[in-house]
């Protein structure tokens, strides 16, 4: 181990000498460490209220709704704590903004507070949400941001809150929506996005997130990255079945880009077009859980909407699961029913279905049945510059 640390230390010194990277740290792989197993055993009795919620209501919001919103997100967090074995020493901090969103039909919008590049067990670099990184016993890690999850809740929606009486047909139970959004914030999120192009017109292709950094006052392309969610995603076609990382590698084989228009004009944009086609064709993208989960076989993701809808396609379960125990992560949200009534009428064990749990386990979350997930063994981060304000969140950094 000492020799390994010496190599890492030398590498760190070399990089810091010749680059302007902000943070480059390493973590020891503790997969077989007994201390890791002991610490996990202590988690079982400390699972209540691990989600710490702060609500920001603007001047146009109904003030008495703020406390109800907080209660809804806390209730949703408790449901997650029942199925995941979370680290009691690292609460998950949630920042909820109650405001009018730009699109009237958008109920809520959620992002991880930040995504951190870590190296998975297959030696591939992927982006992990901060909430997940907190679950790993990493000796070193990049600096955490204040909030692990950031959610925006639309004031224009006719919300139903506990204690309001019988829910009306046009109302949405905020606990149901909050639970869905928190799971998105935990990392149920793909990096394949249309943000390389403007929202003002229909996308022509999808790309994974990419980063660049400042090196001696010039921008250097740092490559495309998939999220840990994407590790288990497969794109299907008539004759092939390819993992997400295959197409990430295709895009990474291109020359560095300093402008999005250069990327869109490149010959590699054909791969972006293919992914868009897959993302808008029914039953064309699946998530295959890792072998240690209880779910066997592929899980179909949402690809029925055309044109592509940012924040819907790929990052929801297929509508074929609408009337199953995994209803929670399907699109659109169910209105006119409370979360409690849906679970009761369906005779489900939990509002969080087995396929959803299998996805979270595959990403690296611990559960009572599978307490020891495979850990990433190395972590680093670039010095990210020039966050595009159009994106509007701290987890995505894009080329101008």
Beta-sheet pairing, 115-119 with 378-381 = antiparallel
Structural domain includes residue 235: no
Let me know if residue 125 belongs to a domain: yes
Contact 280, 258 (CB under 8 A): no
Q: Is residue 290 part of a domain?
A: yes
Matching residue, tokens 């990493």: 138
Query: Residues for the chain: how many in total?
Result: 400
Q: Which of 45-59, 123-137, 278-292 has the lowest mean pLDDT?
A: 45-59
Check whether 307 has a pLDDT greater than 50: yes
Summarize pLDDT for 74-90 with one digit per residue, the tens: 999 999 999 999 999 99
Parent domain of 329: 2-196+284-381
Domains: count for the chain? 1
Q: What is the mean pLDDT of the chain?
A: 81
* CA–CA dist 51, 69 (Å, integer): 14
The tokens for 214 are: 């400042």
**Distance of alpha carbon 364 from alpha carbon 235, whole angstroms:** 22
Band of pLDDT at residue 396, cut at 50, 70 and 90:
very low
**339 lies in a domain?**
yes
Closest by CA to 110, choosing from 57, 151, 69, 73, is 151
What are the phi and psi torsion angles at 127 (to 5°)? -95, 125
Task: State the helix-helix crossing angle for 244-252 and 269-279, rounded to 10 degrees.
Answer: 160
Q: Contact, 353 vs 318, CB < 8 A?
A: no
**pLDDT at position 37:** 52
Q: How confident is the model at residue 48, as a pLDDT? A: 66
Do the beta carbons of residue 127 and residue 384 sit within 8 Å?
A: no
Residue 291 belongs to a domain: yes
326 and 83 in contact (C-beta within 8 Å)? Answer: no
For residues 129 and 161, give the distance between their C-alpha atoms in angstroms, rounded to a whole number.
29
Q: Give the pLDDT confidence score for residue 332 in this predicted structure.
A: 95
Per-residue pLDDT band for 101 (boundaries 50, 70, 90) equals: confident
Q: Nearest CA to 26 among 277, 381, 329?
A: 381
Peptide bond into 326 cis (omega under 30): no
Q: What does the alpha-carbon distance between residue 143 and residue 125 come to, in Å, rounded to a whole number?
A: 18
Query: Does residue 69 have a pLDDT over 90?
Result: yes
209 lies in a domain? Answer: no
**DSSP string for 250-287:** HHHTSPP-SSHHHHHTSTTHHHHHHHHHHHTSTT-EEE
Is residue 120 a part of any domain in this protein? yes
> What span, in angstroms and rounded, lies between the C-alpha atoms of 51 and 80?
9
| Mean pLDDT along residues 202-218 | 77
- Give the phi and the psi of residue 183 in degrees, each rounded to 5: -65, -40
Distance from C-alpha of 97 to C-alpha of 398, rounded to nearest angstrom: 23
The region of weakest confidence among 150-164, 214-228, 264-278 is: 214-228
- 215: confidence class by pLDDT, cuts 50, 70, 90: low
Distances (CA, A) of 164 to 62, 105, 168, 338: 15, 22, 10, 11
Residue 220's pLDDT is what? 66
pLDDT at 172 over 90: yes
pTM of the complete model: 0.84
The torsion angle over the Cα atoms of residues 260, 263, 264 and 269, rounded to 10 degrees, is: -150
Is residue 27 in a domain? Answer: yes
Indicate whether 112 pLDDT > 70: yes
Rounded CA gap, 244 and 271, in Å?
Answer: 11
């Amino acid at each position: 181990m000492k020799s390994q640390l010496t190599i890492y230390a030398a590498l760190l010194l070399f990089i810091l000498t010749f680059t302007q990277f902000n943070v480059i740290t390493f973590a020891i792989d503790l997969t077989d460490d007994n201390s890791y197993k002991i610490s996990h055993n202590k988690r079982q009795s400390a699972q209540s209220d691990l989600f710490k919620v702060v609500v920001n209501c603007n001047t146009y919001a109904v003030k008495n709704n703020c406390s109800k919103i907080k209660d809804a997100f806390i209730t949703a967090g408790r449901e997650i704590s029942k199925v995941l074995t979370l680290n009691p020493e690292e609460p998950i901090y949630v920042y909820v903004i109650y405001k009018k969103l730009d699109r009237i039909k958008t109920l809520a919008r959620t992002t991880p507070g930040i995504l951190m590049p870590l190296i998975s067990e297959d030696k591939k670099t992927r982006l992990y949400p901060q909430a997940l990184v907190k679950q790993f016993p990493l000796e070193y890690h990049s600096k955490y941001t204040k909030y692990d999850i950031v959610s925006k809740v639309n004031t224009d929606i006719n919300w139903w809150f506990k204690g309001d009486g019988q829910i009306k047909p046009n109302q949405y139970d905020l606990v149901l929506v909050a639970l869905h959004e928190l799971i998105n914030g935990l990392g149920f999120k793909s990096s394949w996005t249309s943000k390389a192009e403007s929202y003002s017109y229909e996308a022509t292709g999808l790309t994974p997130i990419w980063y660049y950094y400042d090196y001696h006052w010039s921008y250097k392309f740092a490559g495309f990255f998939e999220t840990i969610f994407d590790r288990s995603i497969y794109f299907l076609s008539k004759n092939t079945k390819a993992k997400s990382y295959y197409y990430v590698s295709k895009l990474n084989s291109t020359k560095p880009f300093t402008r999005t228009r250069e990327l869109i004009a490149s010959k590699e944009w054909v791969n972006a077009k293919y992914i868009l086609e897959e993302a808008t064709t029914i039953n064309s993208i699946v998530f295959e859980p890792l072998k240690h989960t209880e779910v066997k076989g592929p899980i179909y993701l949402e690809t029925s909407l055309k044109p592509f809808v940012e924040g819907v396609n790929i990052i929801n379960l297929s509508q074929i699961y609408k009337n199953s125990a995994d209803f929670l992560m399907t699109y659109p949200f169910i209105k006119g029913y409370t979360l409690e009534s849906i679970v009761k009428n369906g005779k489900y064990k939990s509002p969080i279905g087995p396929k959803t749990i299998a996805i979270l386990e595959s990403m690296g979350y611990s559960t009572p049945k599978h307490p020891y997930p495979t850990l990433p063994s190395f972590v680093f981060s670039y010095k990210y510059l020039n966050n595009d304000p159009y994106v509007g969140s701290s987890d995505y950094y894009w080329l101008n």
